[in-house]
Amino acid sequence: MNEPFDEPRRHGWLTRLYRHRWVRVLMLVLAIPTALTLVFAIVLWQRFGSDRAVEYQAIEEHFKYGSTGGERVSGFPYWIFKAMPVVCSHHLPGGWASLGFVFEEGKDMPVGMSMRNYQGIDRTFFNCAVCHTSTVRDTPEAKPRLVLGMPANTFNLFRFTKFAFDCARDPKFAAEYVVPEIGRLMNEKGEKLGLLDRYLVYPIAVALMRERLTMLNGRFAPLMQDTEWGPGRNDTFNPNKILFNFPIDQLPERERSAPVDFPSIWLQKPRQGMQLHWDGNNIMAEERNKNAAFGTGTTPPTIDLAAIGRLEQWLLTAEPPKYPYPIEADKASRGAALYAEYCAGCHGADGRTFSAPAGTQARECVNPHGSDDELYGPQVGKITRIEYIGTDRRRLDSFTYDLAVSLGTVYAGYPHRYCHYRKTFGYANMPLDGVWLRAPYLHNGSVPTMRALLEPTSKRPTVFYRGNDVYDTKNLGFVFEIAEQGGRRFSTYDTAKPGNSNTGHEGKRYGTELNAGDKDALVEFMKTF
C-alpha cells in the first residue's frame, strides 16, 4: 500500500520558501543589478579589452603602415597624436610634416606610423618604415617618388623626441586643452566625441601620457644635450643603455654623441652571416631586426613576431630601385676597372654580387706590421679595424662590452633570446647595392656625396645641410648646399661636433689620390648599382 501523499515533504523547504511573495520580490531586486553588472562588464570588455592591429594584405602596405607591436606600450593615442601639433604649435610651428615625415597622397598618417586598437583606444607609433623609407625628387618642383627600404634621410627623430618631451611638459598639454581639440578634429572627419571619451577616457589618457613622457624626458635628458642627430640619423645604442639603467651622465665622453645614419635594408638574404650593424657587432639578421624593433617601441612581451616575420621574408629579396637618370656608358666602363682595383675587395664586385672577384685584394686591410703593399684577401662583410679606416670612432666606442652583455639578457627565457652580440674594433664593409640612394656617406653620414668621399678630408665639406630629397646626379647624393627651400629649413651638419667627424676612408688605397677624371669615372660606375 502506498504512503499517504505528503505535500510539504515532496517539495522541500526551498519550494515552500519561494511561495512567499517577499522572497520572490527580493530575488528580483537582486537579479536586476547582477544582470546589469554582467552587461556592463561585457560592454567594458568589448570596449577596453581590445587588441587589434590594422592589417594589410599587400606586403608593401604592411611595411609602410603595419604594426610591429610597439603601440601597446609606447603608442600615442591616435587623436592625441593628431592634436599635439595644434595644442603645442609653439614647439612645432610646421606640424608633423616639418619633422621630415613622408606623407602619401590621401593618407591620414605618415609612412612609418602604424595603428592598433588597444585597451579601447586607437594608438599609433613607429614601425620599420619610419627609418627606412624616404623620397627622391628630380627638382625642387618635382613630385616626390617614394622609395621603400632606403634610409629615411628627411626624418628627424631627434626633433620628434624633443617635441614630444617639450609638449608633455607644456601647461597646454592638459585635458582642458587637448580634449576640445580632439572633439574639433573628430567633427572635421564627421565623427563625434562620445561622453565616455570626453569626460573619462581621453582625460585619463592625456594624464598618463604626460606622466610617461615626463618620466622618459628625465631619463633621456643627458642624451638630448649631446650632438643633435639631425635628419636621417640616430644614436643607436646609447638609448639602450638608458633602458638598461646605465648611469648615462657618468659614462666616459667617448661613449656619448655617437649618431649614425639609418641604413638601407634591401637584399638581406645574401647578407646572412655577414657582420652586421655599422660596427659588425652581430652576424644574425633576426637578432638585429628584433633589436631594431625596440626603436619602434616594442618590448619582449609586446613584440609582434608574426608581423616582423612577414617583413623579414620580404626583405630577403627586396631590390633597390635602379638609378633613374642617364649614365655615360664609356665613363662607367672606365670606372668599372677602377672600382675592381680600389673598392671590390671590401664592398663586392657590384650592387648584385656580394663577394669580391677572384684574386681581388682588399686595400683597407693592410698588414699593420708591413708595407701598404702587403694586403689581405677580400673583406666583404667583415670588419676593417678602426686604425686602418680612420673614420670617426664614436659609434664604435659607444658599443661596449657591458652593453653586449646586457643585450644578452633581452628575451631571457624566450627561444629567440639574443646570443650573438659582441664587441668589435672597427667598422663592417658592406655591399653597395642601391648606393646612389644611401647618401650622405660613411657610418655617421658625414660626407654628403660619393664624389666628395673620393676627396681627402681636407677637401670634403665641413659644414653642409641635411634633409633635402632633391637629387644631385653629378656628385651622387642629395643637394646639400641649400639651407632652406620651399619654406622648409634643413638641418646644419657641422663636422667639428662630437661624433660628426668626416675623417678617414682616405689615401692611396681608398682612391682619394686618383685624378679628377678617374674619380668621376668611378662615381659613374657606381650609378649602375
Residue count of the chain, please give it: 529
**C-alpha cell belonging to residue 497:** 661636433
Distances (CA, A) of 352 to 121, 397, 405: 45, 32, 35
- Label residue 369 by pLDDT band (50, 70, 90): very low
Nearest CA-CA partner of 54 in 134, 113, 142: 113
Interval 42-57 mean pLDDT? 81
Q: What is the pTM of this model?
A: 0.89
- Label residue 48 by pLDDT band (50, 70, 90): confident
Give the integer Cα–Cα distance in Å for 168 and 155: 21
Give the integer Cα–Cα distance in Å for 524 and 529: 10
Tell me the angle at which helices 202-224 and 175-188 cross, rounded to the nearest 10 degrees.
110
What pLDDT score was predicted for residue 193?
A: 94
- Label residue 290 by pLDDT band (50, 70, 90): confident
| Cell 622648409, residue located | 488
The residue type of 109 is M
Interval 140-167 mean pLDDT? 97
Measure CA 134 to chain center.
12
Three-state DSSP at 20 gives: coil
- Label residue 376 by pLDDT band (50, 70, 90): low
- Res. 299: pLDDT tops 90: no
- Res. 477: pLDDT tops 90: yes
**C-alpha cell belonging to residue 155:** 626624418
What pLDDT score was predicted for residue 366?
A: 45
Distances (CA, A) of 515 to 220, 456, 492, 511: 47, 12, 30, 9
Give the integer Cα–Cα distance in Å for 309 and 292: 13
The string of DSSP codes covering 121-151 is: EEEEEE-GGGTSEEEEBSSTTSPPEEEETS-
Higher pLDDT pick, 466 / 286:
466
**C-alpha cell belonging to residue 63:** 611595411
Q: For 121, phi and psi rounded to 5 degrees?
A: -130, 135
Question: Across all residues in the chain, what is the average pLDDT?
Answer: 90
Torsion, CA 24, CA 25, CA 27, CA 29, rounded to 10: 170
- Res. 4: pLDDT tops 60: no
Contact by Cβ (8 Å): 461, 448: yes
What pLDDT score was predicted for residue 371?
A: 45
Which range scores top for mean pLDDT: 344-348, 353-357, 411-415, 477-481? Answer: 477-481
Q: Across-strand partners of 384?
A: 427
What pLDDT score was predicted for residue 23?
A: 65
Give the integer Cα–Cα distance in Å for 418 and 286: 9
Nearest CA-CA partner of 149 in 320, 296, 308: 320
What pLDDT score was predicted for residue 103?
A: 96
- Label residue 368 by pLDDT band (50, 70, 90): very low
Any idea which of 38-52, 112-126, 440-454, 500-514 has the lowest mean pLDDT? 38-52
Tell me the angle at which helices 202-224 and 157-169 cross, rounded to the nearest 10 degrees.
120
Percent of the chain at pLDDT > 90 equals 74
- Label residue 38 by pLDDT band (50, 70, 90): confident
pLDDT in tens, 188-234: 999 999 999 999 999 999 999 999 999 999 999 999 989 999 999 99
Any idea which of 12-16, 324-328, 362-366, 381-385 has the lowest mean pLDDT? 362-366
Q: For 323, phi and psi rounded to 5 degrees?
A: -60, 120
